[in-house]
């Protein structure tokens, strides 16, 4: 399941006249990435979507009822920390009440959490409820209403998104996918190194050809980037092309400090300790490329919304590429 599938499903469910969605999710957990992207993509698709961003809730439980009751559909995104938020749990109770009283359509989305954990309150949901029972021991009826709402919602037909374990906590299925789509929407033809290139008969030749045919490379450094020798080989190739023909390189540091990349400390240091054993003859070239790229002009994602960060990247790229050029020259190689 991806955002495109979810949005298409919602468009089928909504009538032309009554097309509101109320979106419930944990801002602390996914408010700056998946939740924010989903909210903006729904609105971009012409689906008027409301979310509790602090303005409509304002600490009063009764304030949230009206926007929920006025919506045709409620999308509830269950993430690992959803149950730690009493605001989310109160919202969910109102949502399930509206479903039973007025026929509100409820679509649960399970983001990196199994539906059984939600329904049975296991794992992090169990830990959250252990704290709630202590904090709200005089309001056990409220706690029980949260449990009942979770069980009822989790048993509904919904969608499950599980991030595959690929290079550890990888960015392929989230941040880089959103960045790739944002670039494409702006009319910037973008090539990315996906699984297809791995199946070629001569991988090195295919990668080299892709790099040579592009004007600019965006390199997204995440915590696990250095664990992949494919990424390191590609980086070395890109930096060599920068030195020889002036290929434009734009580094993006996602949840990692540039100094860790440049000096190979932290997770990068751990991975290079392994590489020194298995790829001793390649390490020097990889270190040189990382040091060189880490001190180039790029962008660092700090504690902010991913969507705004992506907008800033797209603007920077458009400026660097000079979009007055013919489209065939505005191509990219995109690795992560």
- Catalytic residue positions? 234
d(CA 329, CA 33) in angstroms, rounded, equals: 31
Contact 6, 38 (CB under 8 A): yes
Going by their DSSP bridges, the two strands 191-192 and 105-111 should be labelled as: unpaired
59: its two tokens: 């600490």
333 strand-pairing partners: 191, 217
Distances from the Cα of 34 to the Cαs of 113, 119, 174, 305, in angstroms?
Answer: 14, 22, 8, 10
> How many CA atoms within 13 Å lie on the side-chain side of 54?
3
> How many CA atoms within 13 Å lie on the side-chain side of 68?
26
Q: For residue 28, give every residue at least 6 positions away whose Cβ sits within 8 Å of its Cβ, in sequence order, or none.
A: 81, 84, 85
251 strand-pairing partners: 219
What's phi and psi for 108, nearest 5 deg? -80, 140
């Amino acid at each position: 399941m991806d955002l495109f599938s979810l949005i298409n499903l919602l468009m089928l469910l909504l009538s032309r006249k009554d097309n509101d969605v109320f979106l419930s999710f944990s801002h602390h957990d996914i408010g700056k990435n998946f939740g924010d992207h989903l909210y903006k993509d729904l609105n971009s698709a012409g689906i008027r979507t409301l979310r509790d961003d602090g303005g409509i809730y304002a600490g009063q439980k009764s304030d949230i009822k009206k926007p929920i009751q006025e919506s045709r559909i409620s999308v509830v995104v269950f993430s690992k920390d959803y149950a730690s938020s009493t605001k989310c749990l109160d919202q969910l109770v109102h949502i399930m009440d509206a479903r039973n009283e007025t026929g509100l359509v409820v679509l649960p989305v399970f983001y990196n959490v199994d539906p059984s954990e939600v329904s049975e309150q296991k794992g992090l949901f169990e830990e959250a409820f252990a704290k709630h029972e202590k904090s709200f021991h005089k309001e056990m009826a409220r706690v029980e209403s949260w449990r009942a709402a979770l069980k009822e919602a989790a048993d509904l037909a919904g969608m499950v998104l599980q991030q595959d374990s690929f290079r550890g906590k990888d960015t392929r299925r989230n941040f880089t996918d959103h960045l790739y789509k944002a670039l494409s929407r702006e009319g910037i033809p973008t090539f990315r190194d996906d699984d297809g290139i791995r199946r070629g008969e001569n991988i090195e030749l295919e990668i080299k050809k892709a790099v040579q045919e592009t004007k600019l490379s965006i390199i997204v450094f995440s915590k696990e980037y250095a664990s992949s020798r494919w990424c390191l080989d590609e980086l070395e190739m890109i930096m060599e092309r920068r030195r020889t023909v002036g290929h434009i390189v734009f580094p993006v540091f996602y949840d990692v400090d540039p100094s860790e990349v440049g000096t190979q400390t932290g997770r990068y240091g751990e991975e290079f300790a392994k590489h020194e054993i298995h790829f001793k003859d390649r390490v020097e070239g990889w270190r040189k490329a990382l040091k060189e790229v880490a001190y180039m002009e790029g962008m660092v994602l700090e504690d902010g919304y991913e969507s705004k960060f992506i907008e800033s990247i797209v603007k920077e790229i458009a400026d660097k590429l000079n979009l007055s050029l013919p489209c065939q020259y505005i191509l990219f190689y995109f690795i992560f």
